[in-house]
Chains A and B, each alone.
Chain A
């Protein structure tokens, strides 16, 4: 693989051909915010939080391959505003109860809002009516908190070798559905499935283990999301 040199926010970065901008940035210790991307999963390009400017044009860093000499903007005001807008959209689109959500402190959406200094979204809440599926003995789906990133869909296929979930409907009606007529209990989903931990928010949760980590010891209690990459 040949080496490719390019710039992210004026910092020279070296990557290998075939890498995406995000992969090369990760390796260089530069954090590009993301939600629908998850380690070892095929990039989805759906959340658009990783939007960067490549030679002045917006692109998703998770799917855009690096190229020699490209100029990538990651931390400019324009890019940050776009990301804030998208994070805001995800908050108002669903019903997110951070104050009593089991995922609080470990939630990537919440952590991103903190990193971007978002105290409350600037858009009006849409208050959708969405269904809960608590039929399965070990897992429940709370679509109120789903951000439609598709990580569970891909994790079930790629990690678990199953096809427990997929998207149905489209547009504002789009939602996660199970590979069965009625509910999750009818599928071959298991509590140990990797798809559960792949969820960045509290939409897919393991039963009976909520709030196990005390406040102060949760993933993002002390350091903002992205530190794991920046402090590598």
Chain B
């Protein structure tokens, strides 16, 4: 034991030192310890706290927040089977059974030899190739029972998750640094993101302009944030630029955790340079010298490749000090005074970190709790610096705006929603994948494009968006009518609406950070009542209860998670009321239908060894 602790100490000291013994690098530190030891043990927490001069409880607070981190030991290999609604529809239950059988353990358990842990995880961004799972950082997709058997066999024999990837996916997935079976399924390339990329042209244009001119162009393009909220990008940059502070920060939100979303995966794999060029332009525009790519833990398989792309950009003088002044490139020639570099911050399994202020907390090495606003990130964000957090797709759009002009961009799409939008389409359709289409197309047109038939419902914008029915299929997809961050889940008429809503509520209960009361408690109560209705114990009054409670959670919650989490219930009641009405019935006897007298008396009857005299239950 003593020697073990000595080794642990040595490793922890090394890891902390590599991170500059910097408390704000806590995420990197605990992730590294977790990777090496399968846990961040109590002893490790004490050691980390000592090395970075903080309190042990702060380390514990962080470790216990993120699902990819744990105090209790896990296997060197952790298999995380994605159990989101699309995977459920793809019969993940059968995959679950095979994993359990092959490993001889239940979910949440570790094999007796301590080597492999089996878990469930919400959406890993592979809905277009469900069922899917993570084996440590390795993604396995389109799972079948046979594939599972083979995976378990390989893992048992080699202990090396990298060995389970035999066939590569499309495009850059076959790059040795990615080495992944993931397919990006880019079904439709549009004029912006997946059009021809002329590397460096936009950056050159940008640097020949003043930052104010760039912001003016972005504003003129009427570009709005692609994460879903649709805040005008130019305005965000203007605020950040105008905010007081010598240091400013650009953060790219690549934490696409909204179930059903995987469009950023396609960009990160196929258009990494476009993204980094966009971040660099943004950095120049707001006057930032620090850029952070916050990459969700589930996309760790892309990290090495992205680091390589960044290194190449550094070598080419496109990142670092005095960027774009390397003569050999022949494009700039003069020495610039612009400094900008990008680091990758890995997440560790927390949906809430897609919320910009939580994401900043996480980058600072804290729990992913959202921050109070004001101050807004543009005023005081990462480590107190004015910060602009933008979506992956947003940065890419800006590159094209700067390259081809605001007028060109705003001619695409619709009046209030210019440009194209990437849609991550999954569920009941012939061709799930990524579609780049102009804003303003109708839901029907999109459904036709993806080969969806007998569609009953579409979840626009993921669980936090809207569940719509046929009546709304004529609506235009844009910020003013039907807003979306891009997730489109298609459900045909064989699917159960309440099961979908229930799954989404389960997701929000799991992913709520628990900071504020309405989101922490309200979502649990919403889900409980929905379960009652599904179980046939609902009354007509329950619909009113759900709507009132849902509205309180939306109104009183502190951040976007709670402000949207009741949507699966509220929008399904609004658009599929008959489904609810069919299930609820008035309680004629005046009794609370959820109260089970037999169950309530069971224990007493057992102790008394006789039946209740009044309620003679079976």
Contacts and interface: CB of A to CB of B under 8 A. Distances in A.
Nearest to A173: B514
27 contacts: A43-B372, A45-B558, A51-B556, A60-B558, A64-B374, A65-B374, A82-B552, A85-B518, A89-B522, A93-B520, A147-B517, A163-B55, A163-B57, A165-B57, A166-B58, A169-B65, A170-B512, A170-B513, A170-B514, A171-B511, A171-B512, A172-B512, A172-B520, A173-B514, A179-B55, A180-B57, A181-B46
B595 to A, nearest CB: 10
A3 B300 CA distance: 52
A148 to B, nearest CB: 7
A106 B344 CA distance: 50
A191 B447 CA distance: 65
A90 B493 CA distance: 40
A86 interface: yes
B475 interface: no
Q: Is the interface of B mostly helix, strand, loop or mixed?
A: helix
A177 interface: yes
Nearest to A51: B556
Given A43-B372, A124-B528, A179-B56, A174 B558 contact: no
A92 interface: yes
A48 interface: yes
Interface string A143-179: 0000110000000000000010111111111100111
Interface string B344-362: 0000001010000000000
Given A46-B517, A170-B514, A81 B552 contact: yes
B524 interface: yes
Contacts of A82: 552, 555-556
A93 B61 contact: no
Contacts of A178: 57
A55 to B, nearest CB: 14
B518 A167 contact: no
Interface residues of A, number: 42
Contact of A174 (B57, B352, B520, B552): B520
B528 A179 contact: no
A172 B514 contact: yes
Contacts of B56: 179-181
A166 B46 CA distance: 15
Interface of A: 43-49, 51, 58, 60, 63-65, 81-82, 85-86, 89-90, 92-93, 123-124, 126, 147-148, 163, 165-174, 177-181
B516 A92 contact: no
Contacts of A173: 514
A181 B514 contact: no
B579 to A, nearest CB: 23
Contacts of A86: 517-518, 552, 556
Contact of A170 (B367, B372, B558): B367
B581 interface: no
Contact of B555 (A47, A49, A58, A171): A58
B58 A148 contact: no
Given A85-B552, A86-B556, A181-B46, A148 B520 contact: yes
B60 to A, nearest CB: 5
B376 to A, nearest CB: 12
B64 A123 contact: no
A171 B513 contact: yes
Contacts of A43: 372
A117 B46 CA distance: 47
B515 A46 contact: yes
